[in-house]
Amino acid sequence: MGLTITEKILLSHTKEKEIKPGSFILAKVDLTLGNDITAPLAINEFEKLGINKVFDRNKIVLVPDHFTPAKDLHAAAAVKKLKEFSKRYKISHYYEVGRMGIEHALLPELGLISPGDLIIGADSHTCTYGALGAFATGVGSTDLAASWAIGKCWFKVPQTIKFIYHGKLDKWVGGKDLILFTIADIGVDGARYMAMEFTGEAIKNLGMDDRFTICNMAIEAGAKSGIIEPDEIALNYIRENQIYKSKFKNLKSDGDARYFKVKEYNVSKLEPQVACPHLPSNVKPVSQVKNVKLDQVVIGSCTNGRISDLRIAAKILKGKKAHRNVRLIVIPATQKIYLQAVQEGLAEIFVKADAVFSTPTCGPCLGGHAGILADGEVALATTNRNFLGRMGSPKSFVYLSNPAVAAASAVKGKIIHPDDIM
């Protein structure tokens, strides 16, 4: 019996001769990640071990991105803890404000992700890196600490659901819409502790930014990971961004691989999708979301803060103004993307549209800072979660969409299809 791409990667990182779904394995990790919320906890646990070195200072990445630039004394102390740990153990990949970005956009951009890698991060959206053919998954801070000591982590080999998307996507429809549509179909627990493997004509015609978006939100279906077979589009991205030599692996699932389930969709007529409060699975086509007035629109995050997302938003916002009742916040995901937005004139378009053009931060996505909602306020965001109280008050309401819908809705002051103003 053949293996899925996920099973092949996991097998290659163990001493086992064969594995199957449900097997427990101790696997070597190629890269580990922590941020300013999760890494301080891991540091505390690591220090309890009483050892004086990490397994590999070049395989640990620390990115303060959630509450940065530091919003208060507690946030500043957390970042200081990361910085001091990095100095003490000579960690190669510590990225301070000004050099950092939102972690899941930053690591691929820096060339730290390669096909066939096994990556863990103390953040649930670590699954983003599956877009480049890596097995990437979120872990707890104690697992992160243990990996720093031994360079390994325990896993249960997940079953895989294969998602095949047929057809050509319409204008204004992209990766965000595909993943929201999928989560609506299977539910927020529909892929619990499974790998979601994405393929088909629609996937193969997507650029990397859309692929990152899809894998980023696999966790919103309860998945252990999301993954896309690395094709020439992925390999070109890696070649353009790689700063360390890496052997590209020709990875694909075997023809006789075992799947828990195979789901097929024809997405030729798919509309832009909107997730309504308070679950990412409560999804409707934008045409069915009527008269939802907005107080805030956020374009950014590790889900949709990449340069193509900003280009789409700027195309719609050019020559227009955000509605007088709407706070429009645009957050490029990394410093590189920020600079691209400035050089391409996108930043000027946003500012002239009366938007806040922010430094990279997770900020409003998790209700941290830089865009908190008050009681009764309504937001539309290109982020990944809209749980009760996710962006501030538990009496607020968060809708999710792609950047085109978000930008158009910011102008109109309510949720609309981009064609309504273009």
pLDDT, one tens digit per residue, over 139-156 is 999 999 999 999 999 999
Phi, psi angle pair for 54, to nearest 5°: -95, 165
Residue-wise pLDDT tens digits, 10-21 = 999 999 999 999
Work out the burial of residue 265: count CB atoms within 10 Å of its CB; fewer than 13 is exposed, 13-18 middle, 19 or more buried.
middle
Q: Is the pLDDT of residue 160 over 70?
A: yes
Residues linked to residue 275 through DSSP beta bridges, in sequence order: 283, 400
Q: Which residues contact 64 (CB under 8 A, 6 or more apart)?
A: 35, 36, 78, 79, 82, 95, 96, 97, 100
Distance CA 319, CA 72 (A): 37
166-182: pLDDT as tens digits: 999 999 999 999 999 99
Map out the domains of the chain as residue ranges: 5-265, 273-420
pLDDT of 240 above 90 = no
Average pLDDT, stretch 266-291?
Answer: 97
Judge if 5-265 and 273-420 fold alike in CATH terms.
yes
pLDDT, residue 239, reads 85
Written as six digits, the tokens of 280 are 């990412």
What is the residue-averaged pLDDT of the chain?
A: 96
DSSP states of 318-381 as a string?
TT----TT-EEEEE-SBHHHHHHHHHTTHHHHHHHTT-EEPPS--GGGGT-SSSPBPTT-EEEE
pLDDT at 386: 97
Residue-level pLDDT at 248:
53
Q: CB-based contacts of 313: which residues, under 8 Å, 6+ apart?
A: 299, 330, 346, 350, 403, 404, 406, 407
Average pLDDT over residues 20-41: 97
224 alpha carbon, distance to own chain's centre: 14
Amino acid found at 333 = A
What is the C-alpha separation between 237 and 313, in angstroms, rounded?
A: 22
pLDDT in tens, 61-108: 999 999 989 999 999 999 999 999 999 999 999 999 999 899 999 999
Mean pLDDT over 268-284 rounds to: 97
Q: How confident is the model at residue 396 (pLDDT cuts 50, 70, 90)?
A: very high
CA dihedral (93, 99, 101, 106) positive or negative? negative
Q: Please give the pLDDT value at position 43.
A: 98
176 contacts 277 by C-beta, under 8 angstroms: no
Q: Assign domain 273-420 to a CATH class.
A: alpha beta
Report the CATH superfamily, name and number, of domain 5-265. Answer: Aconitase, domain 3 (3.30.499.10)
Neighbour count for residue 109 (Cβ, 10 Å): 21
Angle at CA of residue 259, ends 258 and 263, nearest 5°: 145
- CA dist 400 and 101 (Å) reads 22
At 251 the pLDDT is: 87
CA distance 304 to 327: 18
Whose CA is closest to 7, among 115, 127, 182, 135? 135
State the sign of the Cα–Cα–Cα–Cα dihedral 1, 246, 142, 367: negative
Closest CA to 200 of 242, 234, 229: 229
Q: Residue 90: what residue type?
A: K
Cα separation, 181 vs 270, whole angstroms: 9
pLDDT at 247 over 80: no
Judged against a pLDDT cut of 80, whether residue 250 lies above it is answered with no
Residue 168, Cβ density class (10 Å: 0-12 exposed, 13-18 middle, ≥19 buried): exposed
State how far the Cα of 332 lies from the Cα of 307, in Å rounded to an integer.
7
pLDDT for 278 beyond 70: yes
